[in-house]
Chain A
Amino acid sequence: MLFAAEAAEEESPFVELINHLTPHHYGWAPHWEIAGIDFSPTNAVVNMWLAALLVIGIFMVAASKSGIIPKGITNFVEMAMDFVKNNIVYSVMNAKDARAWFPFVATTFFFILFMNLVGLVPYIGFTATSNIFVTAALAVNIYLMAVAIGMARHGPLKFWRKTVVPSDVPKALLPLMVPIEIISQLARPFSLAVRLFANMLAGHVILYIFVGFIFLVGSTFTLAHLAVIPVAMVMEIGFTAFEVFVSFIQAVIFAFLATIYINDALHPGH
């Protein structure tokens, strides 16, 4: 609606810039169609491939240099894995479960971290996680896997009874507590997906708006240029630094909450 009002008079620069945030096909990508459904890779898909290749590549390089004392990239990767192990997995699960689930959580963490960071690279990056379908796929899959494992391990009815009915509540309060617990369980995959998506999208929208200020001032040099352009550039650089920090924090939060949901499925009831 805002776009419609703007497009009636002239193309505001913000419209063109915000279009960069929508999924679109790259010019060089092939057009695959299977049974009438368009499977040709969009920019989100290509960036997910790039992030996955980066994760695999960095870890293969780091693992191939062995030695008692790590140095270089092996040192950095070991530091990151130590952080994930101590602060995310072993602080939530008991030792036996944590040993089994640590590779999965570490893979999720590094994949999301690289998807977030690739979006900050100037020309070749589109943030794959700023697309709601990507984050919803990750979050819903992790939550459904946790629920399936819980139901397989404890039996479906017993699992849901232990999850949704808190144990030390007087019986008269149960008709009030159980719907609240059900809603809070159903909100888990939704909030996991929307938290990551909204953080990435909001960061990139603000970055594009700062760039849009420079486009808004125009190409003929006036006095306003001297005021607007340095301020917009400094804010853009500062905000990109903040976006690096937010990418890291959001990857940590996603992995931490995924670990909590898996732990809640393995040992339900609280």
Chain B
Amino acid sequence: MLLAQEAATGFSDAGLAFLGGGLAIGLGAGGGAVGIGILWSKGLEGIGRQPEARGTLQGLMFLGFALAEAQVLYAFVVTILLLFVL
């Protein structure tokens, strides 16, 4: 049935799963990287304006980084699922 599907339309289940896996991690990591970049740039700008606020800002920067990184890792879990299970 899979060979018939591949012969008929040119797409196979395995090929589509690879494509989906690549798209998942590509878009996920791209969005996450942009978010983390914006967060750290604002944080560093704040430290530059007021160096005394460094302690507070550093703690919050790492907190925000971990929360944004978690979204990238959800995409990573989906990619692993697509590549190795489907």
Seen from chain A, the residues whose Cβ lies within 8 Å of a Cβ on chain B are 1-3, 87, 191, 194-195, 197-199, 201-202, 205, 249-250, 252-253, 256
Partner of A1, one of B14, B59, B69: B14
Contact between chains at A1 and B73 (CB < 8 Å): no
Bound-complex Cα distance A2 to B18 (A): 9
- Given A194-B77, A195-B70, A198-B70, A249–B62 Cβ distance below 8 Å? yes
**CB-defined contacts of A87 to chain B, threshold 8 Å:** 59
B67 contacts the other chain (CB 8 A): yes
Interface residues of B, count at CB 8 A = 19
Seen from chain B, the residues whose Cβ lies within 8 Å of a Cβ on chain A are 14, 17, 59, 62-63, 65-67, 69-70, 73-74, 76-77, 80, 83-86
13 cross-chain CB contacts under 8 A: A2-B83, A87-B59, A195-B66, A195-B70, A198-B70, A198-B74, A198-B76, A199-B69, A201-B77, A249-B65, A252-B66, A253-B66, A253-B67
Chain B interface helix/strand/loop/mixed: helix
**CB-defined contacts of A252 to chain B, threshold 8 Å:** 62-63, 66
Q: Which 10 interchain pairs have the tightest Cβ spacing?
A: A198-B73, A195-B70, A253-B66, A198-B77, A249-B66, A202-B76, A2-B83, A2-B84, A1-B14, A202-B73
Chain B min CB distance to A204 (Å): 12
Bound-complex Cα distance A75 to B86 (A): 51
